[in-house]
Amino acid sequence: MTDTSETPKPTGFSVIQDFLKTLDGSPGVYRMLDAKGAVLYVGKARNLKARVSSYARPTGHSPRIARMIGETASMMVLTTQTETEALLLEQNLIKQLKPRYNVLLRDDKSFPNILVSREHAFPQIKKHRGAKKEKGDYFGPFASAGAVNRTLNQLQKVFLLRNCSDATFDSRTRPCLLYQIKRCSAPCVGYISEEDYNNLVSDAGRFLRGRTTNVQEKLAEEMQAASEAMEFERAAALRDRLKALTFVQGTQAVNPAGVAEADVIALHLEGGQACVQVFFIRANQNWGNRDYYPRTGAGAGASEVMQAFVGQFYDDKEPPRQLLLSDAIEDTDLMAEALSEKAGRKVEILVPQRGEKKELVAGALRNARESLARKMSETATQTKLLKGLGEAFDLDGPPSRIEVYDNSHIQGTNAVGGMIVAGPDGFLKSQYRKFNIKDETLTPGDDFGMMREVLTRRFKRLLKEDPDRQSDAWPDLLLIDGGAGQVSAVHEVLSELGVEDVPMVGVAKGVDRDAGKEEFHRHGARPFALRRGDPVLYFVQRMRDEAHRFAIGAHRAKRSKAVGATPLDEVPGVGATRKRALLAHFGSAKAVGRAALSDLKAVDGISDALAETIYDFFHEKS
């Protein structure tokens, strides 16, 4: 009998020795792959041949590198012009491919900024996140929305700037509550001139750039002048603003006199886990901090973890003028060169040994150590809950990825499906997804039909992107908000797609819709319940409530957007600014649609070509 089984691919250092013969001394990036073609590791090199040759030795490796070499069945390389290009390419590939033996920064989100908008005569100050497309001055980054909100509150107390939208501003006929509580100067009703208001805007800009001494001196001089002129009400208002500014400075958690602009990055490693704490110092002020828990690539050391974190963290962010690190990285000069090139100015990377900078790093390191201790405690609890969940639902083991689905709508309108994800690290908010229900043939309020659409779209995409199920994007358990009907609808969808091995449980409210009396439904099995007070039951309730919260939030956002929608949103070339100009000129979208071409051309900011586009849009539709 002929043996038709495939011969296993050879792995280990001998494979690397053979591959080494094809390399030269160019800079570039190499990938190590296992027998199935999955990427194990991505690295960069100034000299590819010299770097890869270090893996070709049979001995002298750390346990982590030895395991990686033992699994390597093939390699790939990409050459680059410079080592800096190789460094940038390496970090991009790590974030894209997520190799098992690389350090990986997870859940890396954008940071909010403060924006002083310049699209209005009386600039608005507000929180901003995302691409910097709007015209104005941006200040940041701040570590969190909370840090931005605290700073905005401080700025309102001291500089009395408006935070209302332009539409609200234009519609006011009397001052709002913020004026009454001395948080706004009421430019909407003419209580302050444009010149005086813009002086306040300039003072706020100086404060956000760290020039608070100038602002204090100016306020003191104005207060003295008002007092001498017997303008006691104005003098009292200036005194209150000066006191507020002094209070703001006194309540800053960190005010480093010698560090104007820096990110303080501290790393703590323990038990194979890592926490990186980042403090944002801007304008000699602490603008908040955030902790990260990068995957350590099966046991990388501090230097490698720090290097990977810095490279991936600034992949899509502008670096500050200084990085103050707790641990030296492997290629300090190269990383500084890459970041300087990205920023268009010099970026320094320092590991402080004394003085104020050392104290800043020590504070960040203390936070990292405490945060990791809390995280490890939470992870231990989460592990117990996942184990209990696996036992309660007869799974093969503790699930590492749970997807929970829910729908939200009002009588079928603005219907949205929501998916949240939970696992060993708790709720993975970067993995949450919303699904705008697109099927127009559905009966309004058809929850079964909505769930069918959501699950069909979700698993069709999974099958397209990862048919071999090699990634961790495939769930180990589906939780559906609903009873036997919802479970049947989802089972039908998965069967049609050929996905019949993903466990699924429906969570129904149970008797009297009372929390604690939930019934659990599985296809082909009788419903069952967990005892009241079971920690696993509370865990399921938390996941269901989180899915419900997320779906309702997505529905409300869609409904709010629909309320403010007009036919102008569909006209090519008409954005928010031109839409405001048209509505201000004609009063309504309906009036814009009836306007003559000559009237459209008369609107400020509307070119002749755009006026013709708008005219044709409404008249072709009619």
pLDDT of residue 2 exceeding 60, the answer is: no
Do residues 296 and 272 lie in contact, with contact meaning Cβ atoms separated by under 8 Å?
yes
Residue type, 260: A
Query: Cα dist. 611→379, 580, 582, 590, 594 in Å?
Result: 59, 15, 10, 15, 13
Band (562; pLDDT cuts 50, 70, 90): low
Do residues 525 and 516 lie in contact, with contact meaning Cβ atoms separated by under 8 Å?
no
Instruction: Please give the pLDDT value at position 212.
Output: 62
What's the pLDDT tens digit per position in 595-617?
Answer: 888 888 888 888 888 888 888 88
Torsion angle of the four alpha carbons 496, 498, 502, 508, in this order, in degrees rounded to the nearest 10:
10
Band (553; pLDDT cuts 50, 70, 90): confident
Instruction: Identify the burial level of 146 via C-beta atoms within 10 angstroms of its C-beta, where 0-12 means exposed, 13-18 middle and 19 or more buried.
Output: exposed
Selected residue with higher pLDDT from 97 and 1: 97
What's the pLDDT tens digit per position in 497-533?
Answer: 988 889 999 998 766 555 667 899 998 889 999 888 8
Q: How many helices (H) and strands (E) does the chain have?
A: 20, 18
Q: What six digits make up the tokens of 15?
A: 């494979």
How large is the average pLDDT for residues 216-228? 76
Task: Tell me which CATH homologous superfamily contains domain 567-621.
Answer: 5' to 3' exonuclease, C-terminal subdomain (1.10.150.20)
pLDDT of residue 379 exceeding 60, the answer is: yes
Q: What six digits make up the tokens of 88?
A: 């940038």
pLDDT, the chain, mean: 86
CATH topology of domain 261-374: Nucleotidyltransferase; domain 5 (3.30.420)
pLDDT of residue 73 exceeding 90, the answer is: yes
Do residues 510 and 529 lie in contact, with contact meaning Cβ atoms separated by under 8 Å?
yes
Selected residue with higher pLDDT from 445 and 340: 340
Instruction: Please give the pLDDT value at position 40.
Output: 95
Task: Tell me which CATH homologous superfamily contains domain 402-561.
Answer: UvrC, RNAse H endonuclease domain (3.30.420.340)
What's the pLDDT tens digit per position in 315-332?
Answer: 888 899 999 999 999 889
Do residues 259 and 281 lie in contact, with contact meaning Cβ atoms separated by under 8 Å?
yes
pTM of the complete model: 0.70
What's the pLDDT tens digit per position in 189-221?
Answer: 999 999 989 988 988 888 787 766 666 677 777
pLDDT of residue 160 exceeding 80, the answer is: yes
DSSP 443: P
Q: What six digits make up the tokens of 170?
A: 């234009």
How large is the average pLDDT for residues 223-245? 74
pLDDT of residue 622 exceeding 60, the answer is: no
Band (365; pLDDT cuts 50, 70, 90): very high
pLDDT of residue 447 exceeding 80, the answer is: yes
Band (251; pLDDT cuts 50, 70, 90): very low
Instruction: Please give the pLDDT value at position 276.
Output: 96
Return the closest-CA partner of residue 505 out of 484, 521, 488, 491: 521
Start and end residues for every CATH 1.10.150.20 domain found in the chain: 567-621
**Number of CB atoms found within 10 A of residue 533's CB:** 8
User: Which CATH number is correct for 13-97, 3.30.413.10, 3.30.450.20, 3.40.1440.10, 3.50.50.60?
Assistant: 3.40.1440.10
Start and end residues for every CATH 3.40.1440.10 domain found in the chain: 13-97
What's the pLDDT tens digit per position in 134-147?
Answer: 889 998 888 888 88
SS3 (DSSP) at 84: helix
